[in-house]
């Protein structure tokens, strides 16, 4: 098949956003009798799932302090549930386990989850939290300084490769063409509109460009000559100039025990565990103090990664960042001895079964580099008149429903769930509230 020179819709990125948008746009065009999937081309310089979507931890959750994020995630969870088997989605639930300094924030999340009909259970107080965790989840639970447990009954995690290829199959069944190994190098513009996508194999003329490029967001932002710094209105009414992009290193890893080793009291898949605590963390190797400040980890048994997979809070990457097909300079970029020491010790802090298991840690491509916006939350908006940018600020993989909403917006139907994530929120000072979590995306 020859290389295309013209398509009505060109989607950049064959990850969760690009593939979801392609499939749902094809369905919208068919339902509205405004075209078909044959009008849509997806290009990716690597392969399907070669970027961040392919090595994400796969967690699906609604644990957000920000109301707009909770509503958007409730929409996405519903889409995961529509084809759970096809996507390899495990609806095991999700737990936010927290210390007193986060108690009020988590209580507010629980209250607002109930208001939108998202089922969860909230346990308060050290004694009751410990009892709930030991009786309902893990008999060997032993984490300290926990005063609240928010147990989301929905959510869980999904198998990365399976979900992405399921979306690709659905899109191609509707006539969408997916071209891999095609690197985008720039754009042809006229009167502030994109008229063609430049690639190493030639130009592709188009009416619309949709970008779902994950950690490569800044590269395409720069290709469009968009601002490197933006004006942001603070709570005090003052305007400040902030860098548009910041890179965070997302530290994740896998403990090489059989996934069955991590099952719950009933021998079944447990919820995804996310714990934040201000209890001192001591080494499971030599008993030394690792930190006495607020720390957090998340983990779950995962047959895709072949062990217990999870991570800890990310850190800002200074200087120039090269983003390769794994989203990092190399698979070892995120994995330092300090992270391995901390994460395996944190597992042992949480559950007795992980004591003395630090030597079983194994390096797997996971985590990577995330391109974060000024407030660490997504931007979903049109730039250059006809370029729809899905800038997920590393909230991406779980948001399978964003593509469905974007497809409707491209065809002229503004979506209320996406309005809080417009680019002009910065100059308007309409930023999302910030919680006390140590994680920038919470």
Strand 40-44, strand 177-180: pairing: parallel
Q: Note whether 12 and 210 are within 8 A (CB).
A: yes
Percent of the chain with pLDDT over 90: 79
Percent of the chain with pLDDT over 70: 94
Strand 387-391, strand 208-211: pairing: parallel
Q: Note whether 141 and 130 are within 8 A (CB).
A: yes
* Tally of domains within the chain: 2
388 and 415 fall within a common domain: yes
How far is residue 334's CA from residue 253's CA, in Å, rounded to a whole number? Answer: 9
Q: Note whether 404 and 24 are within 8 A (CB).
A: yes
- Residue 322, pLDDT score: 62
314 and 407 fall within a common domain: no
41 and 160 fall within a common domain: yes
Measured in degrees and rounded to the nearest 5, phi and psi for residue 189 equal -125, 155
- Residue 173, pLDDT score: 98
237 and 320 fall within a common domain: no
Q: Note whether 158 and 80 are within 8 A (CB).
A: yes
Structure tokens at 153: 């009954």
Residue 123: strand pairing partners: 149
293 and 359 fall within a common domain: yes
Mark 374-391 as b/e (b = at least 16 C-beta within 10 Å): bbbbbbbbbbbebbbbbb
- Residue 2, pLDDT score: 87
Q: Is the pTM of this model over 0.85?
A: yes
How far is residue 13's CA from residue 171's CA, in Å, rounded to a whole number? Answer: 14
Mark 324-346 as b/e (b = at least 16 C-beta within 10 Å): bebbbeebebbbeeebbbbbbbb
Cα separations in angstroms, 327 against 67, 314, 336, 409? 29, 14, 17, 28
183 and 200 fall within a common domain: yes
For the cut 60, the answer to whether the pLDDT of residue 334 exceeds it is no
Q: Dihedral of the CA atoms 396, 414, 66, 54 (nearest 10)?
A: -10
- Residue 251, pLDDT score: 82
390 and 432 fall within a common domain: yes
Of the three residues 372, 407, 433, the one that is the final residue of a domain is 372
The mean pLDDT value of the chain amounts to 92
Alpha-carbon Rg for the chain, nearest whole angstrom, is: 22
- Residue 58, pLDDT score: 85
pLDDT level of residue 64 (50, 70, 90 thresholds): confident
Q: Which residue spans within 292-440 are E strands per DSSP?
A: 295-302, 307-312, 315-316, 361-362, 368-372, 379-383, 387-391
How far is residue 331's CA from residue 52's CA, in Å, rounded to a whole number? Answer: 12
Measured in degrees and rounded to the nearest 5, phi and psi for residue 214 equal 55, -125
231 and 266 fall within a common domain: no
For the cut 70, the answer to whether the pLDDT of residue 416 exceeds it is yes
For the cut 70, the answer to whether the pLDDT of residue 324 exceeds it is no
pLDDT level of residue 300 (50, 70, 90 thresholds): very high
- Is residue 106 in some structural domain? no
Condensed to tens digits (0 to 9), the pLDDT of residues 357-410 reads: 999 998 766 667 889 999 999 999 999 999 999 999 988 899 999 999 999 999
Cα separations in angstroms, 263 against 56, 153, 179, 181, 310? 21, 17, 40, 40, 15
- Residue 29, pLDDT score: 98
How far from chain centre, in Å, is Cα 94?
Answer: 15
For the cut 60, the answer to whether the pLDDT of residue 328 exceeds it is no
Q: Dihedral of the CA atoms 391, 419, 83, 54 (nearest 10)?
A: 10
Q: Mean per-residue pLDDT for 341-348?
A: 96
Q: Which residue has the higher pLDDT, 22 or 57?
A: 22
Condensed to tens digits (0 to 9), the pLDDT of residues 107-132 reads: 999 999 999 999 999 999 999 999 99
Of the three residues 372, 388, 414, the one that is the final residue of a domain is 372
16 and 83 fall within a common domain: yes
Condensed to tens digits (0 to 9), the pLDDT of residues 244-287 reads: 999 988 888 899 999 999 999 999 999 999 999 999 999 999 99
- Is residue 130 in some structural domain? no
For the cut 70, the answer to whether the pLDDT of residue 14 exceeds it is yes
272 and 352 fall within a common domain: yes
Of the three residues 372, 396, 427, the one that is the final residue of a domain is 372
3-state secondary structure at position 350 = helix
Q: Which residue has the higher pLDDT, 304 or 171?
A: 171
3-state secondary structure at position 433 = coil
For the cut 80, the answer to whether the pLDDT of residue 304 exceeds it is no
For the cut 60, the answer to whether the pLDDT of residue 220 exceeds it is yes
Structure tokens at 347: 């597992």
383 and 421 fall within a common domain: yes
Q: Mean per-residue pLDDT for 335-361?
A: 93
Q: Which residues form the domain of 395?
A: 1-90+154-241+375-442
Q: Note whether 209 and 199 are within 8 A (CB).
A: no
């Amino acid at each position: 098949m020859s290389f295309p020179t013209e398509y009505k819709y060109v989607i950049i990125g064959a990850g969760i956003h690009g593939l979801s948008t392609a499939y749902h746009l094809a369905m919208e065009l068919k339902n509205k009798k405004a075209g078909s999937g044959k009008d849509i081309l997806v290009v990716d310089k690597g392969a399907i799932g070669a970027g961040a979507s392919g090595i994400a931890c796969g967690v699906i959750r609604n644990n957000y302090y920000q109301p707009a994020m909770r509503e958007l995630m409730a929409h996405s969870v519903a889409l995961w549930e529509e084809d759970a088997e096809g996507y390899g989605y495990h609806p095991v639930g999700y737990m936010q386990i927290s210390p007193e300094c986060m108690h009020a924030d988590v209580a507010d999340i629980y209250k607002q989850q109930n208001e939108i009909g998202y089922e969860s259970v909230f346990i308060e107080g050290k004694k009751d939290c410990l009892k709930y965790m030991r009786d309902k989840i893990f008999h060997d639970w032993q984490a300290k300084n926990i005063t609240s447990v928010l147990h989301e009954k929905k959510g869980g995690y999904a198998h990365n490769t399976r979900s992405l290829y399921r979306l690709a199959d659905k899109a191609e069944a509707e006539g969408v063409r997916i071209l891999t190994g095609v690197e985008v190098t720039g754009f042809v513009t006229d009167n502030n509109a994109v008229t063609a996508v430049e690639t190493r194999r030639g130009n592709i003329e188009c009416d619309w460009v949709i970008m779902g490029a994950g950690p490569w967001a800044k590269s395409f932002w720069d290709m469009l000559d968009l601002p490197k710094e933006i004006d942001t209105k603070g709570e005090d009414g003052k305007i400040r100039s902030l860098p548009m992009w910041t890179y965070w290193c997302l530290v994740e890893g896998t403990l090489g025990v059989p996934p069955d080793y991590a099952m719950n009291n009933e021998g079944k898949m447990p919820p995804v565990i996310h714990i934040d605590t201000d209890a001192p963390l001591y080494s499971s190797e030599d008993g030394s103090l690792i930190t006495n400040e607020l720390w957090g980890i998340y983990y779950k048994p995962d047959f895709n990664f072949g062990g217990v997979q999870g991570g800890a809070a990310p850190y800002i990457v200074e200087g120039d960042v090269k983003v390769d097909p794994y989203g990092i300079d190399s698979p070892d970029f995120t994995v330092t001895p300090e992270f391995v020491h901390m994460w395996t010790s944190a597992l042992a802090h949480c559950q007795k079964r992980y004591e003395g298991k630090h030597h079983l840690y194994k390096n797997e491509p996971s985590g990577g580099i995330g391109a974060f916006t000024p407030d660490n939350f997504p931007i979903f908006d049109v730039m250059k008149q006809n370029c729809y940018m899905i800038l997920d600020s590393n909230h991406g993989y779980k948001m399978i429903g964003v593509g469905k909403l974007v497809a409707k917006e491209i065809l002229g139907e503004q979506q209320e769930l996406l309005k809080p994530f417009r680019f002009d929120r910065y100059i308007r000072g309409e930023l999302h509230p910030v919680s006390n979590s140590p994680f920038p995306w919470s």
